[in-house]
Structure 1
């Protein structure tokens, strides 16, 4: 007797579609009203209509592939045909309302008193100390540990985070919301995603402030555990704007062991006296070099810079500022930045990776569960 496979039902297909997440919003496409139609023809051929949020959506290939893969696993399905359409203006507005609610003026979610997102402003006194390298490796380490992580490349003039994270996709605009690209499970936004080629950004203070405000308020970040802001060196407009827009952000200072760099980093950290921010700690980058086959460190840039900064800030702020880690000089960190593969992921056993992983754990600990999350439940009488 020949076995006849069962005909799939619409309910089974919809259940399969509920497992497909929009790669930018990270919610099921069924919840986002992206499923236009489901038609089951004779012989187990399933035709699925999918609404894209915008025309030319950069994720349409992945959405089509994920839908086809999910539906093809349903018992009785012999073929899946996906037809893509585009949401109307009304549908996009409804989607925005679903994601953001009925809020009037745009708000920065991380600045709200009930926000559970830890925000770290990664700062340095001068350029060239590896601040961006530390930022992307900490972000990658936190994401690998199970945290939901976002990175704002706030170094408007010297933006480099997209390359270092390998974030090559462009943001998608849905009404007045910006969907950030994702790389290594990290949501990231940068002005470099909105400029052509290597075109320089020539802006003054008010435009810099507005750009950072848009990155924080217009971008749909979702529910993040951690947000890292890669600040430009020094105590200029962006550092001040970051403190104004997200007053609960904690400063994380990056320096090298060199005393000249430490003195400048100390000045960058002292801004906390005026902004009333907490300094989470100091990361000493390029602390030493281990030659291949040698266990004896070579201190190419001197010693003690990180501890000097921590001690000085502890005295001036009246609160303990720790040295969170001393990251050795490793050429693979530079190579990883050029290739878009953070060292903590490409070589997790490297000494620099181990140190950076320890820094990330000391900053955020374990991923949060439901503690502190409002579930919207009401008691019944």
Structure 2
């Protein structure tokens, strides 16, 4: 790496950081107005306002980086080249026989690493903070109950309902399990005081530990039942680790399926989305299948957006910076218009399958981005 490469790279990275901090600052200022009283109250009891703000807005910064990373990279590329042109450094470098492609190389490599960092953030960090992103400021101190979204287990033929849900604790308050399958002795309904989600152990598969059972009253005397070779309802009659007023219902419908705010499903990793699509116990909508393919194709598509902006950066018409920004905004709008239209068509099942709907934007924009990249290399 030459000195000019290091100079351009540092200028580019500094521009990326400034752009992101500016957007983050605006977001925090406007968002904090709606929650300032709750944040100040928590700050008095939890080590100061700064610590509370970091705890509350830290996950939002990760989400903001995921949303705006590719756009910030494109704008930073634009601002960096504009600055080099304004100071005359770009003209001097070109007059030395160095092409635009060679000048842009360190910024394009840095853009690749930033988009890779976006991918790591999306797959490794955001899934751990999806509950925090769904919380309001007042919920930092105490978890609040949320309405529950009834979900039907297609494999076991059980409808899971309840009075409310505690998402972080993964507990249902006053659950109701409506039994459509053949579960002898249990009737058509199991009601209780609470149901706690539990991962698979040596004693049982994944499912809910149901406590304080109200119906059926003779749960301790009923034998465990299941379908074929797989147990579904475990009772104290056959499993001593259960208390007399408890039972265990094996299901793959975890507490995340029961949240009314399904926007958190966009914060999960690709592997979790894939496992949901492959889960035979739950119906996966076309929009979820589109989301799965969109997540796989997003990194190359984000990089294609950066390459689409290269002709805006490398221009010999002497356009001013504001006109270049306007053209860049138009490019971004065109990019997202194709993504949105294709996703909507795939989600509704109109003309495009979910897989094709996610890949169409890359199939359309990818070759254009590559041609523009090759053109810049020769200029």
> Structure 2-normalised TM-score?
0.22
Q: Which has the larger radius of gyration?
A: 2
> Structure 1-normalised TM-score?
0.22
Q: Which has the higher strand share?
A: 1
Q: Which has the higher helix share?
A: 2
